[in-house]
């Protein structure tokens, strides 16, 4: 109340900073209307009464849709996923990236979410590499080289990158094509373009460049921040990538993170190869050696290349002296859940659950009650097709998105006889 009185009294003097004053003058409850659009969190039920949106059911149905689309594509390609990926992330820093429809600006939002994406990407694909490219003033430049360490890329993003000029899709594609041309044949070549502009200023025929990329087996995907463009759609269709346009910041983050897990590997895209790799032992505690990455003397922690005995500081990496790819077994193990995925659980409606007459009405893994709070009726839950145990919806999401183990199946001893019976 005091704030709005002050505003009325000082209204004339502070007219230049009208927006600022209005922000200060508004109370928190007013801000929830203007900034946060609080009415979107309500919905009407059958009789027209207002009730808050049931977020839990929405998350679960979104998750189920994701799961269905994933299992539909991967069922066709047995075990095949692009696990060794070389991804170039192209960030459009033209004038359009300075727009403020994403707060504080499109550029800042992109930088923040690309950092999170890079961490998630290396978490899920430890043997892969990322390179960053920016488009500014109609020219594409390489911000970082293709590399396997997240810190280098994140450091480059944190620098103040201004945005200016036009955007040029063709220049970006040419640069990315040259960069990805040099990688080994077993790697999957991918490009992810974060496009804010609504046009592209190209020196030549972009259709030719698109055909060049298609021939080089580059899988180009685009996430647009303004509106759908034909040239982006055409690029993605030709190269087999995905084209999505973000509606808001939350949606943008979701679309970006969808590119973190390995995409289904189309058989013709990469050549299968046996890659020679080393699994170094940790250096003895207290041993002193000059490490090959920093050229400094280091004590203790570090790894020894099994072929040339050089010392390296972290894994995964390539030995600088003999070129052997060095990894530790957990790096490979991080990707095994893509090869041995668990089946989606079947949804059980409340009525089916009551008919099943199961003894314990709690989730098998977390022991939370499956009854709707405050009533004696069963809520929706999920069941595993193999071990037939019941799980709550939250555990269903956690098990399929993070844990990748079904607790019910893992708590069962399958005899060799039974296992071979199910296999044949």
Partner 1 sequence: SFSDDVSLLVVLIDTNPFFWSTSSSSLNFHQFVSHVLVFLDLIVRLSQLNQIVVIATGHNTCDYIYDSSLDTDQVTGEGELPALYSFVLQRLEEFVNKDEKLGAKQEGLSEKRASSLLSGSLSMALCYIQRVFRSGPLHPQPRILCLQGSPDGSEQYVSIMNAIFSAQRSMVPIDCCYVGSHNSAFLQQASYITGGVYVKPQHLEGLYQYLATVFAVDLHSRSFLQLPRPAGVDFRASCFCHKTTIDMGYVCSVCLSIFCKHHDKCSTCGSVFGKAQLDAASDRKRKASES
The contact set with partner 1 (CB under 8 A) reads 78-80, 83-84, 123, 127, 186-187, 265, 267-268, 270-282, 284-285, 306-307, 324, 328-330, 332-337, 339-340, 363-368, 394-395, 398-399, 402-407, 410-413, 415
Which CB atom, from 123 or from 343, has the smaller least distance to partner 1? 123
Which CB atom, from 5 or from 401, has the smaller least distance to partner 1? 401
Which CB atom, from 23 or from 343, has the smaller least distance to partner 1? 343
Least CB distance to partner 1 at residue 256 (A): 18
Q: Where is 348: in which H helix or E strand?
A: strand 346-348
Least CB distance to partner 1 at residue 190 (A): 15
As a whole number of angstroms, the distance between CA 298 and CA 293 comes to 11
Q: Torsion-angle region of residue 58: left (phi > 0), alpha (psi -120 to 50) or beta? A: alpha
Report the b/e string of 261-286 with b at 16+ CB within 10 A.
Answer: bbbbbeeebbeeeeeeebebeebeee
Q: Which pair of structure tokens corresponds to residue 168? A: 């040029």
Q: Which of 302, 318, 352, 27 is closest to 149 using CA atoms?
A: 318
Least CB distance to partner 1 at residue 77 (A): 10
As a whole number of angstroms, the distance between CA 344 and CA 400 comes to 7
Least CB distance to partner 1 at residue 372 (A): 16
Least CB distance to partner 1 at residue 127 (A): 8
Which CB atom, from 56 or from 103, has the smaller least distance to partner 1? 56
Residue with tokens 């396997």: 148
Residue with tokens 């690309």: 114
Which CB atom, from 100 or from 271, has the smaller least distance to partner 1? 271
As a whole number of angstroms, the distance between CA 270 and CA 216 comes to 11
Which CB atom, from 147 or from 341, has the smaller least distance to partner 1? 341
- Can you name the residues that pair with 348 across neighbouring β-strands? 381
- Can you name the residues that pair with 220 across neighbouring β-strands? 191
- Residue 110 CB neighbours (<10 A): 26
List of residues 6+ apart from 388 with CB closer than 8 A: 408
Which CB atom, from 75 or from 159, has the smaller least distance to partner 1? 75
Least CB distance to partner 1 at residue 364 (A): 8
Q: Which of 36, 12, 11, 37 is closest to 24 using CA atoms?
A: 11
Least CB distance to partner 1 at residue 136 (A): 35
Report the half-sphere exposure of 337 (CA within 13 A, side-chain side). 17
Least CB distance to partner 1 at residue 331 (A): 9
Least CB distance to partner 1 at residue 399 (A): 7
Which CB atom, from 144 or from 365, has the smaller least distance to partner 1? 365
Which CB atom, from 48 or from 373, has the smaller least distance to partner 1? 373
165 secondary structure, DSSP code: S
Residue with tokens 């060049």: 212
């Amino acid at each position: 109340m005091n704030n709005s009185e002050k505003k009325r009294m000082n209204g004339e003097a502070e007219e230049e900073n009208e927006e600022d004053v209005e922000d200060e003058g508004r109370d928190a409850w007013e801000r929830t209307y203007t900034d946060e659009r609080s009415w979107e969190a309500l919905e009407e039920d059958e009789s027209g009464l207002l009730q808050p949106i049931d977020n839990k059911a929405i998350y679960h149905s979104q998750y189920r849709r994701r799961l269905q689309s994933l299992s539909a594509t991967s069922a066709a390609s047995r075990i095949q996923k692009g696990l060794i990926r070389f991804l170039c992330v192209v960030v459009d820093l033209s004038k359009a990236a300075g727009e403020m429809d994403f707060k504080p600006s499109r550029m800042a939002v992109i930088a923040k979410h690309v950092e999170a994406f890079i961490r998630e990407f290396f978490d899920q694909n430890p043997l892969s590499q990322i390179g960053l490219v920016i488009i500014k003033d109609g020219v594409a430049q390489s911000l970082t080289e293709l590399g396997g360490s997240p810190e280098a890329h994140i450091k480059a993003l944190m620098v103040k990158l201004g945005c200016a000029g036009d955007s040029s899709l063709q220049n970006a594609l040419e640069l990315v094509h040259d960069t990805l041309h040099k990688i080994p044949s077993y790697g999957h070549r991918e490009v992810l373009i974060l496009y804010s502009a609504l046009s592209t200023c190209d020196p030549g025929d972009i259709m030719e460049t698109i055909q060049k990329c298609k021939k080089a087996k580059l899988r180009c995907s685009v996430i647009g921040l303004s509106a759908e463009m034909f040239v982006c759609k055409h690029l993605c269709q030709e190269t087999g990538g995905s084209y999505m346009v973000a509606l808001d910041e939350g949606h943008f983050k979701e679309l970006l993170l969808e590119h973190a897990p390995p995409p289904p590997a189309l058989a013709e895209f990469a050549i299968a190869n046996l890659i020679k790799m080393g699994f170094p032992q940790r250096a003895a505690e207290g041993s002193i050696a000059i490490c090959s990455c920093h050229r400094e003397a280091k004590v203790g922690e570090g790894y020894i290349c099994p072929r040339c005995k050089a010392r390296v500081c972290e894994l995964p990496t390539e030995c600088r002296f003999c070129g052997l790819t060095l990894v530790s077994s957990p790096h490979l193990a991080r990707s095994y859940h893509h090869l041995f995925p668990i089946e989606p659980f079947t949804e059980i409606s409340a009525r089916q659950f009551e008919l099943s007459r199961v003894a314990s009405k709690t989730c098998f893994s977390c022991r939370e009650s499956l009854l709707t709070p405050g009533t004696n009726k069963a809520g929706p839950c999920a069941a595993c097709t193999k071990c037939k145990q019941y799980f709550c919806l939250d555990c269903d999401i956690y098990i399929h998105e993070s844990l990748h183990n079904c607790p019910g199946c893992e708590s069962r001893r399958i005899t060799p006889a039974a296992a071979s019976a199910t296999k044949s």
